[in-house]
Amino acid sequence: MEKITLTGENDSIELYILESTRLGAVDYVLASDVAGGDGECYILKDVSSPEDSESVYEIVEDEHELDYLSGVFGELLEDADISF
């Protein structure tokens, strides 16, 4: 399973990518802090520029965007037991 690392000012967290999608020329990923089982899920948005050599992700915090994306990932992973 592919992993990404989110780095903050004082810490970092490794996340496992569960699913990804592209909406309106923006890449989003659904990631979890555990590879399997119960864990925290995060929806991340790629905010990097096309000329960047690496992707830069931010946690989606906008309520409307988060609600919409939860529905999208829910449909993409309809066979998985994931609750938002």
Q: What is the residue extent of each domain of the chain?
A: 3-76
What is the predicted pLDDT for the residue at 32? Answer: 92
Higher model confidence: residue 18 or residue 84?
Answer: 18
What is the predicted pLDDT for the residue at 84? Answer: 54
What is the predicted pLDDT for the residue at 83? Answer: 57
pTM of the predicted model, to two decimals?
Answer: 0.83
What is the predicted pLDDT for the residue at 80? Answer: 62
Q: In whole angstroms, what is the distance from residue 64 CA to residue 48 CA?
A: 21
Question: For tokens 């988060």, what's the residue?
Answer: 66
pLDDT in tens, 18-66: 999 999 999 999 999 888 778 889 999 999 988 888 888 999 999 999 9
What is the predicted pLDDT for the residue at 37? Answer: 76
Helix (H/G/I), strand (E/B), else coil: 67? helix
Q: Which amino acid is at 17?
A: I
Q: In whole angstroms, what is the distance from residue 41 CA to residue 44 CA?
A: 10
What is the predicted pLDDT for the residue at 81? Answer: 60
